[in-house]
Chains A and B, each alone.
Chain A
Amino acid sequence: DQQVKQNSPSLSVQEGRISILNCDYTNSMFDYFLWYKKYPAEGPTFLISISSIKDKNEDGRFTVFLNKSAKHLSLHIVPSQPGDSAVYFCAASEGNQFYFGTGTSLTVIP
């Protein structure tokens, strides 16, 4: 059973606008959450993370929000740029194992 879910397989956004990618999880024991960005035929690259003791973490244009009561994680990209077009995976960890969502393909339209 998928413990980390990304229910939107794809998202299109105009350049300069906000991109919001969502992620839901079922395991309340997850204590660390991450977002990865992946281009075709390449490995994912780490983008941003958040510990379960926080509800927000910001790094430049990227902000991750964590709502533990709703078991929901979101990534905001502001402003979106064409180079942000990629597949975004959210991941959660419990101890020494990571669990990944199925990914959301983001297209930023110039």
Chain B
Amino acid sequence: DGGITQSPKYLFRKEGQNVTLSCEQNLNHDAMYWYRQDPGQGLRLIYYSQIVNDFQKGDIAEGYSVSREKKESFPLTVTSAQKNPTAFYLCASSIAGWANYEQYFGPGTRLTVT
């Protein structure tokens, strides 16, 4: 079964702690993306990667970091520098990042920081 998995579905952390959100895809897609969704707002791009070992900042990259060591995996670390980390995080992938292909989304991770 091809798809994108994100784990865990719900994550709770104390303020000041770094936390890493997992995203794995077995669709053989080159491009992967991280978005954040807040109530009443659209999806906002955090980081994207078009190819292994390369990634680019999106609109709201501050306080986040990523890595792309394998084609299948694109983990997102929410650092203590992120001022408002509580949100719903969505990972997506597409065949290629530079052409008109739709994105496939994972089920999301809801992060709550207290």
Are B42 and A46 within 8 A (Cβ)? no
Whether A4 is near chain B, meaning CB under 8 Å from some CB there, is yes
Are A97 and B58 within 8 A (Cβ)? yes
A residues contacting the other copy or chain, number (CB 8 A): 28
Are A97 and B105 within 8 A (Cβ)? no
Are A96 and B104 within 8 A (Cβ)? no
Given contacts A96-B31, A96-B98, contact A43 B108 (CB under 8 A): yes
Give bound CA distance, A79 to B81, whole Å.
Answer: 48
Least Cβ–Cβ distance between A71 and chain B, in angstroms: 17
Within 8 A of A (CB), among B38-62: 40-45, 48, 50, 56, 58
Are A31 and B102 within 8 A (Cβ)? no
Given contacts A43-B90, A96-B98, contact A89 B42 (CB under 8 A): yes
Closest 6 CB pairs of A and B: A43-B105, A100-B42, A32-B100, A100-B43, A96-B97, A46-B102
